[in-house]
A and B are shown apart, each in its own frame.
Chain A
Amino acid sequence: MAGSVEANAVGAVDRAVCVEWLQRVGDNALILGHRVSEWCGHAPALEEDIALANQALDLIGQCQLWLGLAAEVEGKGRTADQIAYLRDAGAFRNLLLVERPNGDFGQTLIRQFLFDAFHIALLRALTESSDPRVAGIAAKAVKEVAYHLERSADLVVRLGDGTAESHDRMQKALDLLFPYTGEMFTDDATDRAMAEAGIAPLPSRLKPEWDRTVADVLEEATLTQPGQVWQHGVKGQGGKTGVHSEYLGFILAEMQFLQRAYPGATW
C-alpha cells in the first residue's frame, strides 16, 4: 500500500500497540469464521448451510484485511497468511467467545448473535476512525455484519419463541455463553492508546448499545437475560491478552497443519 505508516493516524501510537489491536480485530474474524465454516455440509437445512457459508466467507475476508493491515503496520515483511498460520495460541488475540465450540445449532446462533451485536457497534465506531485504512475496512465490513446481526437476531427471536424445545435450547445456550461476553467490553492499555489516538473506540463505550440490542432481542425471543453472572477473561487474563481456552490449540492444530508440516511450501 502506498504512503508511509507515519502518514496515517496509526503513526500516532506505538506501532506494536497498533499491531496488537489489529490482531484482536482480525483474530476474532478468523476464529469465528473458522468455527462457522465447520458447519459446511452439516447444517440443519440446505438454506441455512448456504447462509452460514456466506457468513464465514465474510469473516474470512475481513480477517484477510485486518491481518493484512497488521502485517503492513508491523513492517517486517510478514503476510496476513503468515500471521494467521504461523503464530502459536499464546500469540492469538481473539475473544474467548469466538473460540467456543459450535455445540448444537442454538449455541452457534447465540454465540453469533452476542458477537454480532458487539461487532456491529465496534465497526460503526471504526468507520469514523482517524486512520483512513481502518475506516475503509470498517466501511466494507459494517455492511456485512449488519446482515449477520439481522439474521442472528431474527433467528434467536424465532427459536426463542418457537417450540418448547427450541426455547429451552436457546435459553441453555444463552446461559452457557453469556459468561463470555464481559471480555468484549474490558479496556486495557492497548485499547486506551488506540482510543487516545482516535483510531478505535474504547470497548467499554460500546456496552450500552450492546446492552440495548441484546435486551430488545431477548425480550422478543421470550428468553431470560442471565444478568450479573461470572465473566471469564475480564481480569486481564483472557483471549485479548493471549490466555485462551483449550479449544484454540485444537483449532490451530487443524488450521495450521499444512503450513507446519510443509514449511515454506507454496499452495
Chain B
Amino acid sequence: MSSEWPLWEIFIRGQHGLNHRHVGSLHAPDAEMAIRNARDVYTRRNEGVSIWVVRSNDITASSPSEKGPLFDPSNSKVYRHPTFFDIPEEIGHM
C-alpha cells in the first residue's frame, strides 16, 4: 500500500508586496498541512508573509513543444516597449 503524501507546489509572497513567487515543493497529506510545512520549510529565514499551496497534479502547464507558436510571436511587437519611442530630452522624464 502506498501512503506517499502528495507533492505540493509552494508560492510565497515576500515582505515587499510583490506577487507570490514559486519557491519549491514539498510533501503533505493535505492542503492545511502543506501550508504549515511550507511555513517551516520555506520561511525559515523570514522570507514570507503569505503562502499559497497548489497540488502539483492540479497544475496545467503549457506544452514545451508549443514554445515557438506560443512565445515567439511577441518577439516582433517591439512597439510595446517604451524604449521603442524616441522622446526629445528636453521633454524630461516620461
Instruction: Using CB atoms and an 8 Å cutoff, list the residues of chain A in contact with chain B.
Output: 45-47, 50-51, 54, 147, 150-151, 154, 158
Contact = CB atoms under 8 A, between A and B. Distances in A.
A45 B40 contact: no
Given A47-B28, A54-B44, 11 more contacts: A45-B27, A46-B27, A47-B40, A47-B41, A50-B41, A51-B36, A51-B37, A147-B39, A151-B36, A154-B32, A154-B33
Contacts of A47: 26-28, 37, 40-41
Nearest to B3: A163
Contacts, number: 25
B interface residue count range (under 10 / 10 to 19 / 20 to 34 / 35 or more)? 10 to 19
Contacts of B37: 47, 50-51
A54 B32 CA distance: 18
B49 to A, nearest CB: 14
B40 A54 contact: yes
B25 to A, nearest CB: 11
A148 to B, nearest CB: 11
Contacts of B5: 45
Nearest to A150: B36
B24 to A, nearest CB: 12
Interface of B: 5, 26-29, 32-33, 36-37, 39-41, 44
A46 B27 CA distance: 9
Nearest to A155: B33
A36 to B, nearest CB: 13
15 contacts: A45-B5, A45-B27, A46-B27, A47-B26, A47-B37, A47-B40, A47-B41, A50-B44, A51-B37, A51-B40, A54-B44, A147-B39, A151-B36, A154-B32, A158-B29
Nearest to A53: B40
Nearest to A151: B36
Contacts of B44: 50, 54
Contacts of A158: 29
A51 B40 CA distance: 5
A50 B40 contact: yes
Contacts of B29: 158
A50 B42 CA distance: 10
Contacts of A46: 27
A154 B36 CA distance: 11
A147 B33 CA distance: 13
A16 B5 CA distance: 52
A122 B41 CA distance: 28
A13 to B, nearest CB: 37
A31 to B, nearest CB: 22
Nearest to B29: A158
A54 B41 CA distance: 9
B35 to A, nearest CB: 11
A7 to B, nearest CB: 33
B13 to A, nearest CB: 19
A150 B5 CA distance: 21
Nearest to B30: A158
4 tightest A-B contacts by CB?
A: A51-B40, A47-B37, A50-B40, A54-B40
Contacts of A51: 36-37, 40
